[in-house]
Structure 1
């Protein structure tokens, strides 16, 4: 029987780069994690209030900004489970290397740091979007995802040239009647194709609205502009992963026995749970309200980010399926579903194991074992064999 689709979703600056020496290994105790971004107030705050709140914060040292590892993932638990899995199954070397990257930061394929400073203007933001970004910046500071704020000249003197990428906001899908939600995107495909003026406008920084694994070797060209986008030098094919596609889900669900059930969960903050390696942080700085912030985690907008995250998700899938025979995992970035054919396996046991690896899960999302559920914007009914696109 077939489904019916019903259409109704750094080193410190100097002559050479120092060896990698993270000053702190990420753990669940490094930072206090919060579940969601604070909602903006009903009326606009004074223009200086967000800047003053941020300026009043205790600022991390330049060294900590570049070297500190912030992640909830537990390298030791991953490592112990990989060793146990390797006794009964092959573990690919790039997966076996993940605990080391949890400790030291993940390589996203950025080969060289910026050769000179470039501060790009952000996209024009509405007043509402500026308030949302104020809240998001403070949230990321609370979680340790970013470090700052820093004066652009002092930061460059301490860590060397850096660059920012234009920030914009795109709406997230929400249920009818719910207030709008926004996703922060950093345009790592800027600039596109042609050279641009790399001289920073003095007023620019004051405007808030303004197949293998690992990087492949690419030769430079004398015809290339001096400033190219980060994404121009990244290839998603360098970080292949095993994402589930909708056709795969259709086929799997169509073949399930009548006893099969599905449960689901979401990874909270997705890409932000991975630490960014020290030598790539100067390429992902943020400009906001005249101040510079250094990313310790990757941003949404990098060409290789989904693949690097996908490698860790692949390893997690392998560990869960090994730990719980009879369970199959299907994942589409941060949306995950598990299929069981026996009621002997509890969702609580699976999620307990996933959390033991350090993963933070979105507590308000997901569903327990069932044959009727909503997943990736589709309402599935395994009994009626229907898949209905939802309106959110």
Structure 2
């Protein structure tokens, strides 16, 4: 039996390639190193979806801004029941209200939705007025402005753009596969994104970055890092932010986000003691993991610096998965379109191991 479908090829894609042995990520023909910190999310969408959207970066930027305005109208329908939900569940409920379809308008609405709904839900849950989207700001800048109600700095915009680009696609992970399965039924791309979002919500997938901050808070100071982490390993606990199902070496996304975090720190947006604590924890964790688990490749993964970056941007940890979705939705739509255009109904076989009928 192949547990978890490891090594099973279930689709052919032009969108991304994850080289776990060499720690390399290719997105739309470009290495992550060439993209993260060097391109905007709109430019990333042009690479992932340009053929389907039949648009260049400038056109995508304009249409995406219009889509943010459109989906903002759905905020009027937010009620107490939705506000009582967690941010990711509230986001899912709001996206479920969007029209389903397979056309470009559907795609733009879905690309805009997490960036608009996430700040709106967070502000409403805090009793703050909702901030309307802008006609002139880029996607990352507008998301930050809608979150805080103030114009973000260029360093903050660059950091969020780097994050959205870094997580935009990552092979056939659980949420992306869920999107392709639903898209293969021709249920519509909105339905496919809802399936992907539900998979992302799980703590074994996109729901994991927040606990990294819980770990840092519990450690407190750099001198406590080694004894605290050693005690966790002795109890058989997992160290959050380390190890990955695919990567046998360091996750390249961790380096991309660490660089973005350092640039934020240089701009004064990250407390020096917080960065020093994170680096001390990383050093101690990697040393302990190599000592205690020498037979396993447990390196820093994307979750570790995701948590620190999003915290520095003023996002609460319970909303981290929503921001992950704001980046990954581009890849989800790309995979859904590939499945619709070139695939067939996904229907794997199962092996019955139960009792036979008498």
Q: TM-score, normalised by structure 2?
A: 0.28
Which protein is richer in helix relative to its size? 2
Which protein is richer in strand relative to its size? 1
Q: TM-score, normalised by structure 1?
A: 0.26
